[in-house]
Amino acid sequence: MRHFVIGVLLALFVALPVMLAAPPVPAADDCKVIEDFGRAKAGAFPADWKPRKDEGKSIYAVQEEGGKRFLRAVSKGQGVQAAREVQGWDLAAYPVLARPPRPREFPKGADERESGTNDSVLAVYMVVPHSRIKGPKAVKYVWSQKVPVGTHLTSNAGLTQVRVLRSGTEGRGEWRQEKVNVLEDWQKFFDTKDTPKPAGIAVLTDSDDTKSSAAGDYADFKICKR
């Protein structure tokens, strides 16, 4: 998906009522749970989230397996982000974002290096307010089918910095734990020593550029000290 659309996410966070932002919940190993979908209604779009466009409500829905709830994304030729406000995220104290992604269907022929095939089975953003005209800045993490792990890409005139965390289809249908130091990546990719104040997170499972389909699951978002 062409990442200039990330600019509208800033409006999503502004539009979210304060009451929708649940306070972080204590968790083990110096982490705080910011979203585990435990309060969300199974089979529905989660109330604490906001889609970039209304059609996003048909892409993302909470599911449950064995008592565990998670967000399932099923995209059929679509590319719509969903965002969640995270209030009080002190990035200096909690610089690490952790979550276990689960890919289910990779978009056919996707390659994030090319605008015509720029789709991903799973993508997560850390979003920082920047400009009401140009949109926010973001660090985006993707599970790519083809692009090598560690590849750094940019989009949205440099406002979105992309890092490939996983590559290939191995692990399809399996939960794989991931932890990334978003503060380090922010400072490295934007060439700054400043510590930003995140507005929240966003997810994207898209297949609009490849005109195919994609599906993946998101769960247990945590912020951690290290």
**What type of residue sits at position 165?**
L
**What type of residue sits at position 5?**
V
- Which DSSP state fits 183? H
pLDDT for res 1: 46
d(CA 214, CA 61): 14
pLDDT for res 6: 47
CATH C-level class of 3-224: mainly beta
pLDDT for res 39: 94
d(CA 115, CA 109): 12
pLDDT for res 226: 82
CA distance readout (Å), 195 to 18, 25, 88, 95, 191: 23, 23, 14, 10, 11
Distance of CA 178 to the CA centre of its chain: 12
pTM more than 0.75: yes
CA distance readout (Å), 135 to 41, 82, 132, 220: 31, 15, 5, 27
pLDDT for res 3: 42
Torsions phi, psi for 66 (to 5 deg): 55, 35
pLDDT for res 29: 63
CB 201 within 8 A of CB 218: no
Q: Both tokens of residue 96?
A: 């690490």
- The pLDDT tens digits along the chain (226 residues) read 444 344 445 455 544 433 334 444 445 569 999 999 999 999 999 999 999 999 999 999 999 999 999 999 999 999 999 999 999 999 999 999 999 999 999 999 999 999 999 999 999 999 999 998 889 999 999 999 999 999 999 998 999 999 999 999 999 999 999 999 999 999 999 999 999 999 999 999 999 999 999 999 999 999 999 8
Parse the chain into domains and list their residue ranges.
Answer: 3-224
